[in-house]
Amino acid sequence: MKRTLGLLAIVAAAVVVPSTASAQHAYVGVKGCVMCHKSEKQGQQQAIWEKSKHAGAYNTLTSPKAAEIAKAKGIANAAEAKECLECHTISGDPGAADVKQGVQCENCHGAGADYKAMGVMKVKADAQGKGLTAFADKAAIEAMCKKCHNEKSPTNKPFNFDERWASIAHKKPAA
């Protein structure tokens, strides 16, 4: 019995390591989160995100500036190109749901289909076991931001974490 469990653990680890949350859990989009994360008491995550540039990141790819950048790179349509969608939306796959929501909750928190239920969300460890991204510390958060905020971005600007985070922070107020 012990051996079987050990083997199962190895198989599970082998499956888990190379894949990202997106490969294992389905995306639900912003609508799947905001019913519980919009009140003042919760920290108004919906309103803060809607005001942020992340919410408009897909629309940016339809702008004249995006067309100019794309043209210089020989890309026909920025809003359909994987090279642009991969940082401006939830997925580099133009066929995937919700690309128009731009950079949304699940880009940073993980695909939510399996953790968004109230009973799971209330227990942090359970939620993390079902796809909610765990950040060990501030450095881990900054590293996540820099998956997109880096020199591969055609318009990259220096990334000062403290300043940038301050402008999108969405903490739950202390009770």
* Contact positions vs ligand HEC (CB under 6 A): 28, 30, 32-37, 42-43, 45-46, 49, 53-54, 56-57, 60-61, 63, 65-66, 69-70, 73, 75, 78, 81, 83-84, 86-88, 103-109, 112, 116, 118, 121-122, 124, 135, 141, 144-145, 147-150, 152-157, 164-165, 167-168, 170-172
Nearer to ligand HEC by C-beta: 2 or 41? 41
Nearer to ligand HEC by C-beta: 10 or 167? 167
Query: Residue 78 carries which side chain, given as an amino acid letter?
Result: A
CB of 48 to ligand HEC, least distance (A): 8
Shortest Cβ contact with ligand HEC: which residue? 112
Q: Which two tokens stand for residue 160?
A: 């000062």
Contact assessment for residue 28 and residue 116, using Cβ atoms and an 8 Å cutoff:
yes
CB of 165 to ligand HEC, least distance (A): 4
CB of 19 to ligand HEC, least distance (A): 17
Q: Which two tokens stand for residue 105?
A: 């909750």
d(CA 33, CA 146): 24
CB of 3 to ligand HEC, least distance (A): 36
d(CA 32, CA 103): 15
By C-alpha distance, which of 155, 151, 7, 163 is closest to 70? 155
Query: Residue 142 carries which side chain, given as an amino acid letter?
Result: E
d(CA 149, CA 158): 8
